[in-house]
Amino acid sequence: MSELEMIARAIEAGDEEGTGQETKAALAAGMAAQQVLDHGLIKGMDRVGERFRDGEIFLPDVLLAARAMYAGLEVIRPLLEAQKVRPLGKVVIGTVQGDLHDIGKNLVGIMLRGAGFEVIDLGNDVAPERFVQAVRDSGAQIVGMSALLTTTMPAMRRVVEQLAAAGLKERVKTIIGGAPVTAAYARQIGADASLQVAPYYNKPTQAGLYAHFRAIAEAVDLPMILYNIPGRCGVDISNETMARLRRDFPQRVVGLKEATGNVDRVSQLRMLVDREFSILSGDDALTLPMMAVGAQGVISVASNVIPREVTDLVHTALKGDFERAGRIHAKLYPLFKDLFIETNPGPVKAALALLGQIEECYRLPMVPISEASKSQLRATMRSLGLLP
Ligand code: B12
C-alpha cells in the first residue's frame, strides 16, 4: 500500500496519531507537501464525506476523521507556510454563520499565509457583522468566506450586502469557497447586473454612446441595463442605438430603464428588439401605460414606500388583467405623483422618514423638501392608509 493510501485510510479510520505518523513518513520519503495534502489527506476526507452521505458512517465518525485531518495538517503546515517578510496584503477569512466546517477554510488560510498574505482568521460560525467589523478594523483588502452546507450559502450574500451597506464593498475584494460554491453563485451574490446611465454633461453623439456602452460590454463580465434619462443626463440614447447594442451584445445588454417620459418610445423599441430584452419603466406613473405597449416592469421609486402594491400592479399587468391593474394604478397614482413633487429622492426620503423607516438626511446639493410639499405628501399617504 502506498504512503498516500495509508494516510487516506488513517483519516477514514479517524486515527489521529496514525495520520500524523503517516504524514511524517510520506514527507520523510521525499514526497511534496502539496502531494501529501491533495492525494492523501483530502482524498481520505472526501471518502469520509461519501460514506457519510451514503449513511455508512455517522457524525461522530466524521468528527474523528476531522481531528485526524488536523493532525496531518499540523505536520505539513510549516512547509506550506513559507514566511514572506513583508505581507502582500491582509485577508479576513472565516466560515459563515451557522456553519462549523473549518478544515477547508483553515487550509486556505495556510495557503494564503504561505503566499505572503497576513491572514486574520475569524474562525467558524461567523456572523455577518463580525466580518464587516473585522474588515473595517483591519483595513483588509480581501475578505474570504467559506460554506460547506447549502443551507449556509445565503449567509455569504448577507455578508456582501452588509459590506455594501457599510460602504466597504468597493474597498475589499470578496472571495468565496467551499464544496457547494460555484463560480456562477459567486457572481450571483456579488452582482446580478449593472445599471449604466447615459454619460452626462459632454453630450456624446449616438456613435459616441454606442462606443461608450460597447466599451463597457467588452470590459465587464456582467449583464447591464441601460438607463435612458435625458432630463438628467442631457443626452438621449435613441431606439436605434439601443437596438444596435442589443443586437451586437445580446449577453451583455439585457434591458433598458426608460425614463424619457414618452410611452411611444416603448412601442417603437418593442418592434426593434427581441422579447427577451427587458424594457422597464423609469417612472412609476408610466408603468402601466408602458406595460400596455410592451414594457415588462419598472425600476421603481414608489416601491421603497409601497413594495407590495407596486409588485401587485406589475404582476397584474404581466398577467394581462389590465382592468384590475388600472384600478391599482388609479389608487396609487397620487402617491406616484407626490413622490416627484420635488426632485427625487427628496420626497421618497421624506415619505420613508414619515413612516419611521429612515432618518431624514441628505447629501448636498439635495435638501429636505419644503413643509408645503411634506404636508401634501402626508395627506396623500394618509388617504392610502399608510399613515394614521
Ligand atoms: C468534516 C465534515 C464535518 C465535520 C466538520 C469538522 C470541521 N472542523 O470542519 C463535522 C462532523 C462537524 C460536520 C458536521 C456536519 N456536516 Co459535514 N462534512 C464534513 C466532510 C466529511 C468533509 C469536509 C472537509 O473538511 N473537507 C476537506 C476540505 C479540505 O475541503 P473543503 O472544505 O471543501 O475546502 C476546500 C475547498 O472547498 C476550498 N475552500 C473552502 N473554503 C474556502 C474559502 C475560500 C475563501 C476559498 C477561496 C476556498 C475555500 O478550498 C479547500 C481546499 O481545497 C463533508 C463532506 C465533503 N466531502 O465535503 C461533510 C458535509 C459538508 N457535511 C454535511 C452535513 C449535512 C453536516 C451536518 C449538517 C450533519 C448533521 N446532521 O449534523 C453537520 C453540520 C454542522 C454545521 N452546523 O456546520 C454535508 C453537507 C450537505 C449539503 N449539501 O449541505 C456534507 C457534504 C456530507 C454529505 N455528503 O452529506 N461535518
Instruction: Find the DSSP H helices in 228-370.
Output: 230-233, 239-248, 263-272, 287-292, 307-318, 322-338, 346-354
DSSP run (H or E) holding 366: none
Nearest by Cα to 107 from 30, 18, 36, 185: 36
In ligand 1, which atom is closest to the CA atom of 149?
A: 84
What CA–CA distance (Å, rounded) separates 176 from 152? 12
Rounded CA separation 192/220 (Å): 12
CA distances from 372 to 162, 367, 369 (A): 36, 14, 8
- Least-confidence region, from 8-22, 181-195, 264-278, 298-312: 181-195
- State the chain's mean pLDDT as an integer: 91
Through-space distance between the first and last CA atoms of the chain, rounded to whole angstroms: 79
> What residues are labeled active site?
227, 257
Predicted local distance difference test score (pLDDT) of residue 98: 95
Q: How far is the CA of 99 from the centre of ligand 1 (A)?
A: 9
Output the CA angle 85-89-95, nearest 5 degrees: 115
Distance in angstroms (rounded) separating the CA atoms of residues 104 and 87: 22
Q: pLDDT by residue (tens digit) across 19-44?
A: 999 999 999 999 988 889 889 998 99
Residue 118 φ then ψ, to 5°:
-85, 130
Which residue ranges have their beta carbon within 6 Å of ligand 1? 42, 45-46, 48-49, 52-53, 59, 62-63, 66, 98-105, 107-108, 144-146, 148-150, 175-180
For ligand 1, atom 52, the nearest C-alpha belongs to: 104
* Run of H or E including 296: none
CA distance 99 to 112: 21
**What are the pLDDT digits (tens) for 49-72?**
889 889 899 888 988 998 899 899
Residue nearest to atom 19 of ligand 1 (CA): 49
- Structural domains of the chain in order of their starting residue, each with its CATH number: 3-80 (1.10.1240.10), 90-190 (3.40.50.280), 193-299 (3.20.20.70), 300-388 (no CATH)
Whole-number pLDDT of residue 132: 96
Smallest CA separation from ligand 1 atom 89, residue: 53
Q: Which pTM does this prediction carry?
A: 0.54
The protein residue whose alpha carbon is closest to atom 34 in ligand 1 is 104
Give percent of the chain above pLDDT 90: 65
Distant-in-sequence, close-in-space partners of 222: CB < 8 Å, separation ≥ 6: 187, 191, 192, 193, 194, 252
Could you identify the atom of ligand 1 that is nearest to the CA of residue 145? 45
